Amino acid sequence: MNLQEKLEVAHALAQLGVDVIEAGFPIASPGDFEAVKAIAQEIRGPVICGLARCREADIDRAWEALRWAESPRIHVFLATSAIHREHKLRMTKEQIIELAVAGVRRAAKYCSNVEFSPEDAARTEIDFLCQVVEAAIDAGATTVNIPDTVGYAVPSQMYRLIKTLRERVPNIDKAVISVHCHDDLGMAVANSLAAIQAGAGQVECTINGIGERAGNCALEEIVMALRVRQDVFHADTGVVSQRLVPTSRLVAGITGMVVQRNKAIVGQNAFAHEAGIHQDGILKEPRTYEIMRPEDVGFSRSDLVLGKHSGRAALAARAKALGYELTPEQLDRVFQEFKILADKKKEVYDGDLAALIEQQTRTFPDTWTLESYSLTVGTQRVPEVTMTLRRADNEVRTVTLSAGDGPVDAVFLAIEKLTGISVACRDFRVHSVTVGKDALGEVQVQVEYNGDIYRGRGVSTDSLEASAKAFLNAINRILAKNHQPKATAAEPAG
């Protein structure tokens, strides 16, 4: 994510009602520092947290970024398991405790809200873990986070671990116990819920469960498990659950990580019923096969709402109901695209509208836009494509070429020729946004340029046009990051 995309997600998380936003690792890169600083300056409501190793330079840099926050937190971490001590850190237990205490104390000089994580806690000897946690709290940690860094734990183990800390650490009542579970064995949510049952008061989680390797505990699953089964967990969150689906869509669109259709809570099929017995039950009483209402997580019961005769006010109202707050300029752009789509389709679904909104509310400038294309393809012949692009200064460029081993490849080569940007395509995916032969097709691409990966996304009822838009989207990201160099590879042809 670029800076503007991170800010957009941070605003969405604030609207969602999360307690803490861990905004980044300020010392990791200038970009991470600027992102944490911008979020600290702009976001109000949640605690804004920055990550730091137990090193003076890390902690000082974190505070430089966080000092603007309404409610800042520094999160320091240090590995504690035997395998990390022996092979990564090459430190003794005594050295680990000394370094952890020094890190927490330095962070506590900057702000009163300090979190400490003994990395790989789930594989740390319990006696040593208790010593480290006690020492960190004595040094000033107000939250102690217990990470299952490699997703090794099982729920019964996580329950015992949290329960043991509560029983054996004498000052544990002075800090909130947190957990940070990875999903390598598919148990991140189950482990987090077990920790809550044992007395944990904070769960570190992510939208759609995104994260390192197999991902992290999914926020939406934790929130709704606690809400639906309060009789079991006796806990809840302040999350506005109706914002879960809009936030999920936003993060998926920005990161390019598509949510699987059968994903719990936010997946497209989460409330779909195909079996006749289920449909009959739902029609008679929704609770027969639904343990929560679609509206409670941000889905709409009335999916089909708009057509070509719908006006701007109706579009704005529907967008707001789907969780999107559009500026007047954004609404104008979305409305223009909506009218074009409505002329092509008899029925416009919420998914179509969401795709249009996400396509038109990007936070970086479009240097190039697609004007038109024509393509001639056939069996055992090289594709021929004619493409016209318009640059931001209204210069129009056209190229005709015969190249590529298929229509998509030909389209991509034409765009490279016109923009002067040559990339390596690393991933290409296409799927239907909604249903029917006239459904919008969504294309996502990943390209590599100068060693960096850029994502692109495009939607259209024409899958080749969607492919061109997605590729252009990635090219525009490259140009936005690299000061928009002027293309010189092709001369205008008309």
Is the pLDDT at 195 greater than 50, yes or no? yes
| Domains: count for the chain | 3
- The mean per-residue pLDDT over the stretch 468-481 comes to 91
**Residue 474 is assigned to a structural domain of this protein:** yes
Burial of 6 from C-beta contacts in 10 A (0-12 / 13-18 / 19+)? buried
My answer on whether 71 and 96 are in the same domain is yes
Q: What percent of the chain has pLDDT over 70?
A: 91
List the beta strands (DSSP E) in 344-413: 348-349, 368-376, 384-391, 396-402
Q: Identify residue 192 by its one-letter amino acid code.
A: S
My answer on whether 7 and 115 are in the same domain is yes
Under the banding of pLDDT at 50, 70 and 90, the label for residue 135 is: very high
Distances (CA, A) of 117 to 103, 183, 205, 384: 11, 18, 15, 58
Is the pLDDT at 303 greater than 60, yes or no? no
More confident residue, 353 or 124: 124
Is the pLDDT at 301 greater than 70, yes or no? no
Distances (CA, A) of 425 to 345, 387, 474: 31, 19, 10
Interval 30-53: pLDDT, tens: 999 999 999 999 999 999 999 999
C-beta of residue 454 within 8 angstroms of C-beta of residue 474: yes
Which residue, 240, 255, 270, sits at the end of a domain?
Answer: 255
Which residue, 255, 278, 312, sits at the end of a domain?
Answer: 255
pLDDT of the residue at 486 = 43
My answer on whether 178 and 242 are in the same domain is yes
pLDDT of the residue at 261 = 85
Is the pLDDT at 192 greater than 50, yes or no? yes
My answer on whether 218 and 183 are in the same domain is yes
Which residue, 315, 336, 360, sits at the end of a domain?
Answer: 360
More confident residue, 400 or 455: 400
Q: Which of 417, 435, 433 has its CA nearest to residue 490?
A: 417
C-beta of residue 113 within 8 angstroms of C-beta of residue 76: no
More confident residue, 336 or 41: 41
- The mean per-residue pLDDT over the stretch 470-489 comes to 73
Under the banding of pLDDT at 50, 70 and 90, the label for residue 435 is: low
Is the pLDDT at 484 greater than 50, yes or no? no
- The mean per-residue pLDDT over the stretch 399-406 comes to 92
My answer on whether 97 and 231 are in the same domain is yes
C-beta of residue 158 within 8 angstroms of C-beta of residue 189: no
Give the C-alpha separation, 354 to 135, whole Å: 49
**Residue 277 is assigned to a structural domain of this protein:** no
Give the C-alpha separation, 146 to 126, whole Å: 12
Task: Provide the domain limits for residue 127.
Answer: 3-255
pLDDT of the residue at 490 = 39
Lookup: tokens for 449: 């340029």
CATH label of the domain that carries residue 230: 3.20.20.70
Q: In DSSP terms, which residues pair with 143 in a beta bridge?
A: 115, 176
- The mean per-residue pLDDT over the stretch 175-181 comes to 98
**Residue 273 is assigned to a structural domain of this protein:** no
Is the pLDDT at 306 greater than 70, yes or no? no
My answer on whether 330 and 470 are in the same domain is no
My answer on whether 126 and 176 are in the same domain is yes
**Residue 268 is assigned to a structural domain of this protein:** no
**Residue 269 is assigned to a structural domain of this protein:** no
My answer on whether 345 and 456 are in the same domain is no
**Residue 306 is assigned to a structural domain of this protein:** yes
End-to-end CA distance of the chain: 36
My answer on whether 329 and 198 are in the same domain is no
Q: How high is the mean pLDDT of the chain?
A: 89
Under the banding of pLDDT at 50, 70 and 90, the label for residue 309 is: confident
Location of structure tokens 């795709």:
355
Is the pLDDT at 274 greater than 60, yes or no? no
Give the C-alpha separation, 386 to 380, whole Å: 19
My answer on whether 242 and 211 are in the same domain is yes
C-beta of residue 243 within 8 angstroms of C-beta of residue 235: no
CATH label of the domain that carries residue 438: 3.30.160.270
Q: Of 92-96, 155-159, 234-238, 258-262, where does mean pLDDT reach its minimum?
A: 258-262
Under the banding of pLDDT at 50, 70 and 90, the label for residue 149 is: very high
Location of structure tokens 């980044």:
24
Instruction: Look at the alpha carbons of 261, 267, 272, 275 in this order and tell me if their dihedral is positive or negative.
Output: positive
Q: Of 130-134, 340-344, 421-425, where does mean pLDDT reach its minimum?
A: 340-344
**Residue 260 is assigned to a structural domain of this protein:** no
> Distance of alpha carbon 46 from its chain centroid, rounded?
17
- CA trace torsion 47, 327, 330, 43 (10° rounding): -10
My answer on whether 116 and 150 are in the same domain is yes
**Residue 383 is assigned to a structural domain of this protein:** yes
My answer on whether 304 and 407 are in the same domain is no
